[in-house]
Structure 1
Amino acid sequence: MSHSPRQATCRRSGLPVALKIYFLSRVPANVLHMIKREIQIHSQMVHKHVLRLYGAFIDGDERVVLVEEYASNGDLFNVQQRLGGRMLPQQVADAVLRPFLEAVSYLHSRGVIHRDIKPENVLFTQSWRLVLADFGVSINVSQERAVTRAGTEGYMAPEVERCPIKSEPSENKDQPQLAYSTAVDIWAVGVLAYELMVGIPPAIKPLGAKPCASTAVDGFAQAEMSAAGLHFPASVPPAARSFIAAALAPDPADRPTAAQLLSHPWLAAEAVAQRQDAAAEAHQDAAGEVVMTAAAQVRKASSTVEAAAAAARVRRASSTVEAVAAARVRRASSTVEAATMPEPAQDDAAAEALAAEQGRARRAAESGEPAPLPAPPARQNAAHSAVIPATAAAAPGSRGGSGTLKLQTALSIT
């Protein structure tokens, strides 16, 4: 058959790819038909949650090679094991079931049944985008009748379990009572959801199934496959249990479609919770921004206050310096003025002498007598230190008056 996909690099684009290889020498005729059908179906499925098939070719006469998208983060089974074997209900709903059901709904809308849904066929790309892989047993029921027991044990729906394994592509195509629909994938979705949250697949086994020739109704009645007896840990919420019970309905007609499961209250509730968490985070971010803005404003205001206080201190210091300088200038000016002023005593004596002379002159004028001459200033020379007063006696027999004045004048000149 085929080995696990091998990683390779496209020479033209440089992109990493996965190579799924079938060895023709080991492939029986009916499987060769399935390989052709796989390539035909997979090449037509283009969806963001479906693994891309880039191309296929025959390598000589030995191998058929499918070139697929490379999912570097592995499959869901390994992710589950790394998480301890179980996943939280919210993780299952948001990270797995919602994108997975989008892919399944896309397939079913085109008449394609995957027929091998299990954790190993759910892959994750480098960006953790979920993709549905492996269309090896897929079938398009709009082109042919699905009447073969195909898939993986434990994930098969009751109507698949009762069908025979055929060795030729045309076997059982004429038995419409064996035909099943896209509802078999819904059953596998229920098994997958249970396993992810509980850690093991549900222990559901067909009991007393009749031969494949039995009618569909008889087959469901005898299979006694139901989710009614399943045991859930307390961590699985009632809405998730309701989701699983609906998917594991024994009668395929009672199972919801993939599109209806996307609207199930569990997924809707988880979506609401996710939106609320996102809104809460956004609110916290907004509150944080408000706090940071307020803090910045406080810092700015504090800086403004500090700057104003510093400016006030500078102004006060400048005023003090100016006052001190002005006082010093005033004191210096006073000192200069004091140093340049005349002696007040000498000026006062001269003023008094002048006033006395003016007074005598006025009195003499009023009495009709000639005003007396002012006394000459004292001679500082020692040789002429003798001063004859203005009232010196006249010669005997002479009269005062002009003679006296002449004498004074002559003497004064001498």
Structure 2
Amino acid sequence: MAAARERRLPHLHLTLDAPTWAFRCPAPASVTVATLSTSAPRPDGEFRLIDFDRLSVLGRGNGGIVHKVSHRRTSALYALKIIHRGHPGADEEVDVVRRVDSPHIVRCHSVLPTASGDSALLLELMDGGSLDSLVRGGHGGFPEEALAEVAAQALSGLAYLRARRVVHRDIKPANLLVNSAGHVKIADFGIAEVVSRAGKYRAAYEGTAAYMSPERFDTERSLHGDGDEQDRVDPYAADVWGLGVTVLELLVGRYPLLPAGQKPSWAALMCAICFGELPTLLDSTASPELRGFVAACLQKDHRKRASVAELLVHPFVTGRDVAASRRALCQVIEQRSMPISTRV
């Protein structure tokens, strides 16, 4: 079965140590006044590509490239994501980023026209990088106070998307970006989907295999909203699973569902995700509230998995000291943010 499915899923991302496409990068000496791009989105057409100087490459991938750019007139800093023409999901990503406007989502200021036909997204620049970049490099896990803040803000972003029928489908540390103010925002809508009112959506096995939920490995089930109501797979439940794996990874300081050093092959990931148990390390290092939160996220049966609304009122989230949790997260960001090699 594993061999057959490996042939059917050749496009899954299996590299667990790949860094992200956004990271903290100091402004060059030639820029005397620079601000991060945090203002409200502007109508398409107000910005032009020729208005920006490209300062550095923030990341590369099969889908395109991301630059750190500076607006020539204002010196404001942005991330410019250029998606290659014809790349699968490019139109969907543009459609989704046009729909969303939330303090918990990386803001798209404008979709810029290009002569080549590529898609160019002018995005808010997150100066703290990604949670992936912060947890890697031998730094170890996050303190629980910081984890509670990450969970609360990510859940607020997922609640916003759920209200607009958007499924992200690739929630992982690399797609949760932070800034020096301690804000956590969801990024990269390359395989996101707007679920129809009938509950239908695209094939469920796109995404990063390491963070896919068990039901998304089962391609023989009804994954498009067809069949009996009780047999339908809730598409939003997969994002909760991804958040659970993310929180657990930030706690232990490495990908948590495989033993340290094990090669992350598709078959190994499928077995660990669909049939494996939670790491025993969690039982000895985490508070009961955190253990309960992760367990609620990582129920293998999507029907038993907690919803975003339920997790927002979980004691791990509501019981945190908000100010202390934000300070703890800011400390992690300040201590660990540094330029690293990145990709989209």
Q: TM-score range by the shorter chain?
A: 0.5 to 0.7
- Describe how 1:290-305 pairs up with structure 2 within 5 A: none
Runs of at least 5 residues in structure 1 that lack an aligned partner in the other structure: 165-171, 209-219, 278-414
- In structure 1, what is the Cα distance between the partners aligned to 2:66 and 2:237? 29
Any conservation in 2 of the 1:102–1:259 contact (CA below 8 Å)? no
Q: Deviations over 1:363-388 (max 9, x none)?
A: xxxxxxxxxxxxxxxxxxxxxxxxxx
- In structure 1, what is the Cα distance between the partners aligned to 2:97 and 2:253? 30
Secondary structure of 2:210's counterpart equals coil
User: 1:150, CA displacement in angstroms?
Assistant: 1.5
Which residue, 192, 208, 214 being the options, matches 1:158? Answer: 214
Structure 1 position 183 matched with structure 2 position 234: no
User: 1:271, CA displacement in angstroms?
Assistant: 3.3
Structure 1 position 242 matched with structure 2 position 292: yes
User: 1:121, CA displacement in angstroms?
Assistant: 0.9
Structure 1 position 258 matched with structure 2 position 258: no
Which residue, 62, 71, 74 being the options, matches 1:10? Answer: 71
- Describe how 1:108-119 pairs up with structure 2 within 5 A: 108-119=162-173
Q: 1:12 to 1:108 in 2, by over 3 A?
A: farther
Q: Deviations over 1:16-43 (max 9, x none)?
A: 111111222xx35xx0xx1111111112
Secondary structure of 1:234's counterpart equals helix
Q: Which residue in 1 is equivalent to 2:35?
A: none
- In structure 2, what is the Cα distance between the partners aligned to 1:234 and 1:134? 34
- Normalising to structure 2: TM-score of the pair? 0.65
Structure 1 position 122 matched with structure 2 position 176: yes
- In structure 2, what is the Cα distance between the partners aligned to 1:3 and 1:81? 24
User: 1:248, CA displacement in angstroms?
Assistant: 0.5
Q: 1:47 to 1:273 in 2, by over 3 A?
A: closer
Higher helix share goes to which structure? 1
Any conservation in 2 of the 1:202–1:230 contact (CA below 8 Å)? no
- Normalising to structure 1: TM-score of the pair? 0.54
- Describe how 1:208-357 pairs up with structure 2 within 5 A: 223-224=274-275, 227=278, 230-232=280-282, 234-271=284-321, 274=324
Question: Which of 1 and 2 has higher RCO (CA within 8 Å, sep 6+)?
Answer: 2
Structure 1 position 145 matched with structure 2 position 201: yes
Q: Deviations over 1:309-366 (max 9, x none)?
A: xxxxxxxxxxxxxxxxxxxxxxxxxxxxxxxxxxxxxxxxxxxxxxxxxxxxxxxxxx
Which residue, 117, 130, 135 being the options, matches 2:189? Answer: 135
- In structure 2, what is the Cα distance between the partners aligned to 1:225 and 1:180? 22
Any conservation in 1 of the 2:233–2:302 contact (CA below 8 Å)? no
Runs (4 or more) in structure 1 with deviation over 6 Å come to: none
Any conservation in 2 of the 1:116–1:137 contact (CA below 8 Å)? yes
Q: Deviations over 1:101-156 (max 9, x none)?
A: 11111111211111111111111234332211101110111354243311112110
Higher strand share goes to which structure? 2
Letter of the structure 2 residue corresponding to residue 104 of structure 1: L
Q: Deviations over 1:158-200 (max 9, x none)?
A: 1112238xxxxxxx85855675410000011110111011122
Letter of the structure 1 residue corresponding to residue 133 of structure 2: N
Q: Which residue in 2 is equivalent to 1:402?
A: none
- In structure 1, what is the Cα distance between the partners aligned to 2:100 and 2:124? 13
Secondary structure of 2:177's counterpart equals strand
Q: 1:173 to 1:80 in 2, by over 3 A?
A: closer
Letter of the structure 1 residue corresponding to residue 201 of structure 2: R
Percent of pairs identical after alignment?
Answer: 27
Aligned length: 250
Any conservation in 2 of the 1:146–1:179 contact (CA below 8 Å)? no
Letter of the structure 1 residue corresponding to residue 295 of structure 2: A
Secondary structure of 1:254's counterpart equals coil
- In structure 2, what is the Cα distance between the partners aligned to 1:231 and 1:199? 11
Structure 1 position 59 matched with structure 2 position 120: no
Q: 1:58 to 1:178 in 2, by over 3 A?
A: farther
- In structure 2, what is the Cα distance between the partners aligned to 1:163 and 1:180? 14
Q: Which residue in 1 is equivalent to 2:49?
A: none
Secondary structure of 2:129's counterpart equals coil
- In structure 1, what is the Cα distance between the partners aligned to 2:137 and 2:108? 28
Larger Rg over CA atoms? 1
- In structure 2, what is the Cα distance between the partners aligned to 1:148 and 1:116? 11
Q: 1:173 to 1:236 in 2, by over 3 A?
A: closer
Q: Which residue in 2 is equivalent to 1:84?
A: 139
User: 1:60, CA displacement in angstroms?
Assistant: 1.1
- In structure 2, what is the Cα distance between the partners aligned to 1:42 and 1:180? 22
